[in-house]
Copies of this chain bind each other. A is one copy, B any other.
């Protein structure tokens, strides 16, 4: 049995992208991460602001956000163009051989337009790990390239689709886990998963499935963290070695094996 290499899949959201200092710090830390790696980025307030200037307003049906034609064009411009290519140019300047991609490029991520049931979500793509073209990702990664993925997939019929960045990160992580020991990192706006939601320093360093009943009994894990944990365990059951949830500014803790600093919360089986 050969030992698989570790590969990081790191997801950042709008709160990092919108903050110039946080983004610069993050990019330095990401560029310094050793070994093969993939970056997945979300949007940010920029798309909303540019959308307002263009007169594109978010459409909602029964409280659910709809991706109409104008919104799809907006996110293709802002996520697939502006944010993605600026991140790539800045990573290149840091010596990180980035390549900015959507799911249409190299047919990397093919999704299914969400079926219309009660709500027509519009140009939204539902992605699964089966939609990831692993061979193409591996070809890039093995050549030393660092894919930087915008939250866009395609349907194979000529349409781009708006797809949740967390979902993309999870699907890519799971799909690559047959060939790498994948560490899936979600950067978010707290120091980790908190035992006491109002104490920002009450980070739980490690959560395994057996810890869940006690954590839930003591009333921890509020504020929408439960679905994140369920998704993390699902990714681990599908092959990901561990999921890390922590703040973008602490990512540099992962770049040295001997670091005494910790990065957020580790979730594993």
Within 8 Å by CB of A158, from B78, B93, B99, lies B93
Q: A82 contacts B89, CB within 8 Å?
A: no
CB of A68 to closest CB in B, whole Å = 15
Q: B102 contacts A88, CB within 8 Å?
A: yes
Given A93-B156, A139-B143, 15 other A-B residues pairs in contact with their CB atoms under 8 A: A50-B54, A77-B78, A81-B81, A81-B85, A85-B105, A85-B152, A86-B160, A88-B105, A89-B154, A92-B104, A92-B156, A92-B158, A99-B105, A100-B105, A106-B145
**A66-99 interface with B by 8 A CB criterion:** 73, 76-82, 84-86, 88-90, 92-93, 97-99
Q: A55 on the interface (CB 8 Å rule)? A: yes
- A209→B80 CA distance, assembly (Å): 43
CB of A132 to closest CB in B, whole Å = 15
Q: A97 contacts B106, CB within 8 Å?
A: yes
- How many monomers of this protein are in the complex? 2
* Residues of the B chain whose Cβ atoms lie less than 8 Å from the Cβ of A101: 99-100
Q: Which of A79, A86, A156 has the most CB of B within 10 A?
A: A86
Interface SS, A side = helix
**A112-165 interface with B by 8 A CB criterion:** 139, 143, 145, 152, 154, 156-160
- A154→B91 CA distance, assembly (Å): 12
Q: B100 contacts A104, CB within 8 Å?
A: yes
* Residues of the B chain whose Cβ atoms lie less than 8 Å from the Cβ of A53: 53-55
Within 8 Å by CB of A92, from B79, B93, B154, lies B154
CB of A96 to closest CB in B, whole Å = 10
Q: A107 on the interface (CB 8 Å rule)? A: yes
* Residues of the B chain whose Cβ atoms lie less than 8 Å from the Cβ of A90: 158
* Residues of the B chain whose Cβ atoms lie less than 8 Å from the Cβ of A81: 76-82, 84-85
CB of A88 to closest CB in B, whole Å = 5
* Residues of the B chain whose Cβ atoms lie less than 8 Å from the Cβ of A99: 101, 105-106
CB of A16 to closest CB in B, whole Å = 17
**A27-58 interface with B by 8 A CB criterion:** 50, 53-55
* Residues of the B chain whose Cβ atoms lie less than 8 Å from the Cβ of A159: 89
* Residues of the B chain whose Cβ atoms lie less than 8 Å from the Cβ of A85: 76, 80-81, 102, 104-105, 152, 160
* Chain B, Cβ-Cβ closest to A143: B139
CB of A222 to closest CB in B, whole Å = 37
Q: B93 contacts A82, CB within 8 Å?
A: no
CB of A194 to closest CB in B, whole Å = 35
* Chain B, Cβ-Cβ closest to A102: B85
- A224→B45 CA distance, assembly (Å): 44
